[in-house]
């Protein structure tokens, strides 16, 4: 394969190299979905680097790339076709490429010794306007599939079809080596939630005199979570077997949207004491819901864009940042109603003379506060850390940890606020009244 260094010193070349380095660095911190058969259209794109997929290969991995309708242009001279090409790059080799590029502002990644070359436009005949070839992956690892444009001031237009897979006993598996267990994992958790829903309906029916509207919302939340997981299981199954989700991704995003909105709504409503302590919401509590729900709509829109387009689009990194920012804002917003309720109960306990009941309420809200904080911390930080440090063959572990944390949180929340005749919200024990007054004086429930 021909190699040459780009010696053109111009601002656009510098911009391409800077963009490439920033893209490389950002990709180290971003999660990736499983690869599937994708048909992509690149139109007049001048980016120096375009990422298509990230995939964990076994020793039987293959990459099939079909390129058609290729055209390129440059405001300078006729571009060198060896400066346009596809290659694979592992995370380990990425560091070496960055070190190579650091002292050379005109560095072209296609000249690197650490990439796995696939082909350049010079290696293929573009006269037929179509090229297709399958490349075996010899060394098992997690690789990213890139297209590089090292020609100065040039733009590329092309249609690209990618098919990335491993083979198991001659059968194609389109899920990454670390994600091939996800269909069964999601199916088992969906069964757990359907059983959970059945138990919740039984508890609600057995204690229907203590049933509140919030309990019906909690039942709807369990149903959406179960349907979301069964859709995820079917989505991953069809991607694994055929390379396409067969429409299950649409159902997945619908149920995911409903589930997330219901989850944040239930947490906010429980935190405000709605339906338990009071039949209405205060103005500031309504504002929290008016902020959280629209933000969740935008967050789910970002999630769909991230999941359905892939990193090859120009704004993919931006959508990831939008999703992360919105998620952080929503996580902070749902904490406020719980804090407000704790402070309100603390003030009420000083005047209404019902120490035992107030102590029970304060204890319950404080426990709920701790549970919510722990849940958010684990699912946002610990799970991300697992995704980052786990070997590519064990990426499913982070998904298993996240779903386990979700199930534990649901079980805890539903148990704490279950419909029972002697709910802790309404506990009044005259014999413990004096002890409760002492506890309220000595124990600081402020957060």
For residue 5, CA distances in Å to 50, 65, 174, 397 come to: 20, 25, 36, 43
Query: So what's the pLDDT on residue 147?
Result: 93
User: Most distant CA pair in the chain: distance in Å?
Assistant: 93
Instruction: List the one residue out of 277, 230, 279, 278 whose CA is nearest residue 251.
Output: 230
Residues in the chain: 447
Look at residues 140, 173, 206 and tell me which one is the last residue of a structural domain.
173
Q: Domain for residue 2, yes or no?
A: no
Q: Domain for residue 357, yes or no?
A: yes
| Residue 46 · residue 149 · CB < 8 Å | yes
Q: Domain for residue 323, yes or no?
A: yes
Do 150 and 42 share a domain, yes or no?
Answer: yes
| Residue 16 · residue 47 · CB < 8 Å | yes
Do 359 and 301 share a domain, yes or no?
Answer: yes
Provide the domain count of the chain: 2
Query: Helix 182-206 vs helix 213-242: angle between axes, to the nearest 10 degrees?
Result: 160
Alpha-carbon distance 109 to 114, whole Å? 9
β-strand partners of 63: 135, 164
Instruction: Label residues 334-347 b or e (16+ Cβ within 10 Å = b).
Output: bbbbbebbbebbbe
Number of H helices, E strands in the chain: 12, 9
Query: So what's the pLDDT on residue 435?
Result: 55
Do 255 and 155 share a domain, yes or no?
Answer: no
Query: So what's the pLDDT on residue 288?
Result: 80
What percent of the chain stands above pLDDT 90? 34
Helices (H), 207-247: 213-242
Do 291 and 322 share a domain, yes or no?
Answer: yes
Give pLDDT tens digits along the chain (447 positions).
Answer: 333 333 333 444 444 454 444 445 444 444 444 567 888 898 888 888 888 888 999 999 999 999 988 888 887 778 888 889 999 999 888 888 888 888 887 888 898 889 999 998 888 776 666 788 999 998 899 999 999 998 888 999 999 999 999 998 889 999 999 999 999 999 999 999 999 999 999 999 999 888 888 999 999 999 999 999 999 999 999 999 999 988 898 899 999 989 988 998 898 888 887 766 666 666 777 778 778 878 877 877 777 777 777 777 777 777 777 888 888 888 888 888 888 777 776 676 555 555 556 666 777 878 888 899 899 889 888 888 898 888 889 999 999 999 999 999 999 999 988 887 655 444 444 554 455 555 555 555 455
Do 380 and 363 share a domain, yes or no?
Answer: yes
Query: So what's the pLDDT on residue 354?
Result: 56
Question: Which CATH number fits the domain that encloses residue 304?
Answer: 1.20.1070
Do 301 and 362 share a domain, yes or no?
Answer: yes
Do 270 and 365 share a domain, yes or no?
Answer: yes
| Residue 154 · residue 32 · CB < 8 Å | no
User: Tens digits of per-residue pLDDT, 341-358?
Assistant: 777 766 765 555 555 566
| Residue 175 · residue 34 · CB < 8 Å | yes
Look at residues 156, 173, 190 and tell me which one is the last residue of a structural domain.
173
Look at residues 127, 144, 173 and tell me which one is the last residue of a structural domain.
173
Host domain of residue 220: 182-442
Do 310 and 378 share a domain, yes or no?
Answer: yes
Do 257 and 108 share a domain, yes or no?
Answer: no
Query: So what's the pLDDT on residue 198?
Result: 97
Do 191 and 63 share a domain, yes or no?
Answer: no
CB atoms under 10 Å from CB of 427, counted, come to: 16
Q: Domain for residue 320, yes or no?
A: yes
Do 143 and 257 share a domain, yes or no?
Answer: no
Q: Domain for residue 4, yes or no?
A: no
Helices (H), 7-119: 11-27, 91-101
Question: Which CATH number fits the domain that encloses residue 109?
Answer: 2.60.120
Q: Domain for residue 1, yes or no?
A: no
Do 341 and 382 share a domain, yes or no?
Answer: yes
Q: Domain for residue 5, yes or no?
A: no
Q: Domain for residue 3, yes or no?
A: no
């Amino acid at each position: 394969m021909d190699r040459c260094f780009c010696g053109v010193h111009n601002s656009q070349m510098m911009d391409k190299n800077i963009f490439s380095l920033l893209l490389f660095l950002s990709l180290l911190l971003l999660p990736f979905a499983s690869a599937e058969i994708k048909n992509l259209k690149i139109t007049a794109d001048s980016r120096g680097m375009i990422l298509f997929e990230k995939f964990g290969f076994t020793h039987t991995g293959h990459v099939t790339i079909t390129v058609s309708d290729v055209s390129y242009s440059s405001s300078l001279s006729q571009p060198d076709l060896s400066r346009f090409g596809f290659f694979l790059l592992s995370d380990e080799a990425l560091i070496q490429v960055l070190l190579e590029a650091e002292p050379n502002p005109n560095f072209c990644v296609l000249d690197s010794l650490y990439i796995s070359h696939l082909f350049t436009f010079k290696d293929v005949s573009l006269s037929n306007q179509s090229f297709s070839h399958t490349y075996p992956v010899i060394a098992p690892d997690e690789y990213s599939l890139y297209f590089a444009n090292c020609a100065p001031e040039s733009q590329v237009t092309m249609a690209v079809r990618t098919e990335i897979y491993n083979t198991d006993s001659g059968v194609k598996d389109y899920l990454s080596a670390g994600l091939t267990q996800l269909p069964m994992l999601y199916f088992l958790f969906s069964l757990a939630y359907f059983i959970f829903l059945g138990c919740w309906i039984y508890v609600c029916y057995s204690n229907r005199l203590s049933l509140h509207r919030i309990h019906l919302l909690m039942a709807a939340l369990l149903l959406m979570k179960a349907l979301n997981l069964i859709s995820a299981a079917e989505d991953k199954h069809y991607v694994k077997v055929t390379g396409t989700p067969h429409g299950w991704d649409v159902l997945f995003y619908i149920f995911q949207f409903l589930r997330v909105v219901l989850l944040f709504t239930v947490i906010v409503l429980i935190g405000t004491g709605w339906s338990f302590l009071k039949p209405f919401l205060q103005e500031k509590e309504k504002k929290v819901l008016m902020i959280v729900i629209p933000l969740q709509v935008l967050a789910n829109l970002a999630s769909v864009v991230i999941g359905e387009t892939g990193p090859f689009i120009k704004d993919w990194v931006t959508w990831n940042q939008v999703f992360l920012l919105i998620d952080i804002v929503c996580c902070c917003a749902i904490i406020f109603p719980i804090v407000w309720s704790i402070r309100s109960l603390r003030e009420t306990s000083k005047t209404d003379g019902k120490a035992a009941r107030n102590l029970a309420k304060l204890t319950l809200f404080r426990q709920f506060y701790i549970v919510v904080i722990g849940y958010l911390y684990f699912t946002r930080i610990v799970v991300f850390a697992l995704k980052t440090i786990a070997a590519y063959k064990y990426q499913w572990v982070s998904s298993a940890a996240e779903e386990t944390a979700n199930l534990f949180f649901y079980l805890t929340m539903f148990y704490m606020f279950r419909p029972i005749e002697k709910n802790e919200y309404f506990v009044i024990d005259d014999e413990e009244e004096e002890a409760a007054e002492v506890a309220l004086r000595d124990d600081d429930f402020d957060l």
